[in-house]
Amino acid sequence: ERGRLPMAEDLTKEAAEARAKQVPILILFSSAGCHYCEQVRSEFLIPMTRNADYDNKVIMIEVEAGSSTRLIDFDGKVTTHGEFASRYQVYMTPTVKLLDAQGKEAAIPLVGIITRDYYGGFLDEAIGAALKKIRGAADTRSQLSAVTTP
């Protein structure tokens, strides 16, 4: 959705969309009252949602690290935003992770925001690396099936 970074509710939906489009899921792990989280959201991620170029590159959602908000995990199990963040070893916010449709990390996470001037470039690099990994893996699978099918 343009101009919005939705809170994660049901990761099986994002996973299905990510699988269909062969794109990563970008998760902003934030916390309430975190000024830097607001900065990443409003200065970088929301503008990206308005740019159609990202529609076929990434799916973006937010998880509030300390929250007990209900969340359906990649495997369909009910958890909370806080438990999910703990499982992904998020100890500092903002943390941006790029995951594949199975919930595996597909790029090096961006932890904190040190250099605002370069943050957009770091985000694009991480998205590019995750895309390459995901689409590269898909290419390998199709090549393997082509080789093994008589």
Cα–Cα distance, 11 to 87 (Å, whole number): 15
Q: CA separation (Å) from 80 to 26, 69, 99?
A: 18, 5, 18
Residues 6+ apart with CB under 8 A from 103: 11, 15, 73, 74, 75
- Classify residue 40 by burial, with Cβ atoms within 10 Å: 0-12, 13-18, 19+: buried
Q: What local confidence, expressed as pLDDT, does residue 59 receive?
A: 96
pLDDT by 10s per residue, the chain, length 150:
688 899 999 999 999 999 999 999 999 999 999 999 999 999 999 999 999 999 999 999 999 999 999 999 999 999 999 999 999 999 999 999 999 999 999 999 999 987 888 999 999 999 999 999 999 866 655 545 455 544
Residues 6+ apart with CB under 8 A from 106: 24, 98, 99, 100, 129, 130, 133, 134
Q: What local confidence, expressed as pLDDT, does residue 149 receive?
A: 47
Q: What local confidence, expressed as pLDDT, does residue 13 receive?
A: 97
Outline where the chain has alpha helix (H): 11-21, 35-40, 46-50, 81-87, 116-148
Q: What local confidence, expressed as pLDDT, does residue 114 receive?
A: 78
Q: What local confidence, expressed as pLDDT, does residue 2 receive?
A: 81
DSSP H or E run through 79: strand 78-80
Cis status, amide bond into 109, omega within 30 of 0: no
Helix (H, G, I), strand (E, B) or coil at 52: helix
Q: What local confidence, expressed as pLDDT, does residue 98 receive?
A: 98
Q: What local confidence, expressed as pLDDT, does residue 117 receive?
A: 86
